[in-house]
Structure 1
């Protein structure tokens, strides 16, 4: 691929990226499962979803900083050691099963047609990854509101954001025969994240906003502006 071709492709990518950010579901987490509690008797197997449900209930009641791991474990009916088999720390709980979500993201990107323009490939993948459906919108808003507004989570979020950006960088690098650490793939990952976070902040501030509509609107306007 020539430098000129890469330049054209990179311009397309930025257009797409600027659109993407608006419609991302917190990139990586399945909604908490609002299932009914088991009947009295021997407790069933603990699940990630049960821990999340108990934790979010306590976060709502006490705040994230004032909710201890011990309190979450007690609410679920397990010990600290058991809880840590599911989540390495309290900071990991708001992110859900993030590692599994990243694997799913990679699979989505890998499944995009090779003849699809790169910017379109990334755009479609990000949309699919963040399409939680209307039934999960309330919990998703709750989750993202916690992640983006809690000071104690910001340092941990930096690590998660880097992992998410890396998935995009890997895909861009593979398509352009570059290294994931090269400037263009890294830049695409950073731009995607910045746009997504901006979109989420807007979404969280406007109850009637729709993430997907925001992305589509941004995508159309950006392409027209950058032609």
Structure 2
């Protein structure tokens, strides 16, 4: 029997786009996984093959992105100062082509401004911070549990989140410029 209506959506990217459309229409809290699967024409099992939760849909391929950040940090020249290396890698990590910028803005608006996502964001930011902390520790020849690398990881995250908040507040601003400015200010000392 032929299926009528909207075609099934079965790719990770398509489910993300559909989820974001529903979040914009209904709000994040008022959109359920059942709403997403109904709109996509798929079953819950299919959804959960792609995402562990509705929150995971918002974050996309976060683990893959952390791997990319690790690669960018590994590629900075060994002689480059740690602060400069972090600034270079973090700005590059957060560089997006013009077509992707509106999509990324929607994602970060949810991540930083939806109260229901704050607990999950804390866990994800901890993972991001750990990547930076491990890099700083290796550079300094210290364990990641030492004060200096932990402080570097925490302050780099604070600088990045500050840049993102400013970017969301000013749609005409350039994220890379804001990240560059916050990380340079951090490197210069407070």
TM-score by length of 1: 0.76
The aligned counterpart of 2:177 is 213
Q: Secondary structure at the match of 2:128?
A: helix
Q: 2:95 aligned with 1:131, yes or no?
A: yes
In 2, Cα distance between equivalents of 1:220 and 1:84: 41
User: 35, 45, 48: which is aligned to 1:84?
Assistant: 48
Q: Which residue of 1 aligns with 2:135?
A: 171
Secondary structure at 1:66 match in 2:
coil
Any conservation in 1 of the 2:111–2:117 contact (CA below 8 Å)?
Answer: yes
Which blocks of at least 5 consecutive residues in structure 1 are unaligned? 1-39
1:88 partner SS: coil
Alpha-carbon distance in 1 for matches of 2:184, 2:152: 19
1:155 is the counterpart of 2:124: no
Report which structure shows greater RCO (CA 8 Å, sep ≥6).
Answer: 1
Q: Secondary structure at the match of 1:135?
A: coil
Q: For the residues of structure 2 that align with 1:49 and 1:98, how far apart are their CA atoms?
A: 13
The separation in 1 between residues aligned to 2:164 and 2:72, in whole angstroms, is 21
Q: Kindly indicate whether residue 111 of structure 2 is the aligned counterpart of residue 143 of structure 1.
A: no
Match for 1:96 among 60, 65, 69?
A: 60
Deviation readout 1:155-187 (Å, 9 max, x if unpaired): 111100000000001111111111112111111
Corresponding residue for residue 115 of structure 1: 79
Change (3 A) 1:166 1:55: same
**1:69 and 2:37 aligned:** no
Give, in whole Å, the separation in 2 of the partners of 1:218 and 1:200.
10
**For the residues of structure 1 that align with 2:8 and 2:139, how far apart are their CA atoms?**
46
- C-alpha root-mean-square deviation of aligned residues, in Å? 2.1
Structure 1 residue 206: Cα displacement: 1.0
1:52 CA displacement = 0.2
Q: Secondary structure at the match of 1:64?
A: coil
Q: Does 1:191 align with 2:155?
A: yes
- CA offset at residue 216 of structure 1? 3.5
Q: Deviations over 1:42-68 (max 9, x none)?
A: x67722101101100100110000101
TM-score (norm 2): 0.90
